[in-house]
Amino acid sequence: MKKLKKDQGEKPKKKKGHGQLWLMIILGILDLGAVGCLVLAYGPNEEFKDFLVTTAMSTMEHKYLARMIYDEDTIDKVLRENTIVEIDEETNTDAIQIGSYETKNYESEYEKQILEKDEGNDVYKIFSFKENKNTYYITVVYDPSRISLGLSSKLGKKGETVKTIVKKNNALVGINASGFEDPKAHGDGSRATGIVIKNGKVVWRGIKNGWGGGFIGFNKEHKLVLTKTTADKAIKTGIVDAVQFGPFLIVNGKEASVKGKGGGVHPRQVIAQRRDGIVLFVTVDGNGNRGGYRGGASYKELINVLKRYKVYNASNLDGGASSILVEKDKIINTPVGYGETGERWHPTAWIVK
């Protein structure tokens, strides 16, 4: 009988049990995950369906997430049952009396948060709080004449970060303003989706078939105007700086009607004004996730916060990954855009100088 050398010996047979067991476990987990997804998507609980459809369909570039699971009839039905109906009124600017606030007596803790100025700063203050796992940043601007619309220096060709727009304008604070063309969620912020008015003139007409919304801007008296009219009429009525977006959340003290989960859940950006002329920038962070579900606030939650702080007129601005609050050269919130800082490029920004 021929002896085998050590390296020619028969290799021990692999045990099949362990490999098969792990394979079965992995397949079982995948099956459970698939079943779980189907139960969520098509089960008796409508919460997940409403949440997914309203959140995905209120974005510009992520509608496919809803369409991967549901047909168009189902999506249309969900959107009809979960929508926001704006107040059909023109802004009554006569109701705004700029500077008519009292800084000595506060009727509530919320009024104190707004009216008690930071020592040495009469222009603005920023405070924050947590609510429903979200962080809200409120920028209080005491003199609305300090607010103007900042533009990318290459509007129509390339956007700029809000931090850059703030720096170029020697501004103190800035937030993102209009929406913009955003192919594959990596737009360069060059092309605003709606009309842009600066210094009483149209400087951008909006992209073809772009979603604009109503005009959100300030008139010559530094009062916030929310109107759904033409650019020419808006300018004739005294609007100096404006962008198109929405929806309008509060008009003349009357809140929009939100059905179900209308508007979905997102990081948010809002511009608002009280009857005493004080302007609020409301920036709402999500969960910090840049790659998946970003969390954030619903329109109902936003309106509740705005009412708490006695807002008279307010509109939603571009949100999601665009939401950002900058103070001088520092990013205050946690944006979920690109790179290490989470910044995106924008065509416009509301700034305080």
Residue 180 forms beta bridges with which residues?
A: 192
Domain ranges of the chain: 18-81, 84-352
Sheet order of strands, 214-219 included: 201-204, 196-198, 239-245, 214-219, 224-227
Mean pLDDT score, 196-224: 90
In this predicted structure, the answer to whether residue 112 has a pLDDT above a threshold of 50 is: yes
CB 106 within 8 A of CB 115: yes
Task: Give pLDDT tens digits for 142-191.
Answer: 999 999 999 999 999 999 999 999 999 999 999 999 999 887 667 899 99
In this predicted structure, the answer to whether residue 225 has a pLDDT above a threshold of 90 is: yes
Tokens of 329: 């050269």
Coil, helix or strand for 98? coil
Phi, psi of 210 (to 5 degrees): -75, 155
CB 60 within 8 A of CB 179: yes
CB 268 within 8 A of CB 121: no
Q: What is the pLDDT, as a whole number, of residue 212?
A: 74
Mean pLDDT score, 329-346: 94
Residue with tokens 């859940």: 265
In this predicted structure, the answer to whether residue 21 has a pLDDT above a threshold of 60 is: no
**What 8-state DSSP symbol labels residue 313?**
E
- Among 141, 142, 159, smallest CA distance to 150 is for 159
CB 340 within 8 A of CB 188: no
Q: What percent of the chain has pLDDT over 90?
A: 65
- Among 254, 223, 258, smallest CA distance to 241 is for 223
The answer, yes or no, to whether the previous bond of 247 is cis (omega within 30 of 0) is: yes
Task: Give pLDDT tens digits for 184-206.
Answer: 667 899 999 999 999 999 999 98
- Among 89, 139, 93, smallest CA distance to 240 is for 93
- Among 158, 146, 148, smallest CA distance to 349 is for 148
Q: What is the pLDDT, as a whole number, of residue 69?
A: 78
In this predicted structure, the answer to whether residue 347 has a pLDDT above a threshold of 50 is: yes
In this predicted structure, the answer to whether residue 258 has a pLDDT above a threshold of 90 is: yes
210 vs 187: CA distance, rounded Å:
14
**Residue 276, C-beta contacts closer than 8 angstroms, at least 6 positions apart:** 96, 97, 98, 99, 100, 101
- Among 244, 249, 220, 218, smallest CA distance to 231 is for 244
Count of CA atoms in the C-beta half-sphere (13 A) of 192: 30
**Which helix or strand (DSSP H or E) is residue 80 part of?**
helix 72-81
- Whole-Å CA distances, 46 to 51, 52, 70, 71, 189: 9, 10, 13, 16, 36
- Choose the most confident range, by mean pLDDT, from 105-109, 226-230, 259-263, 284-288: 226-230
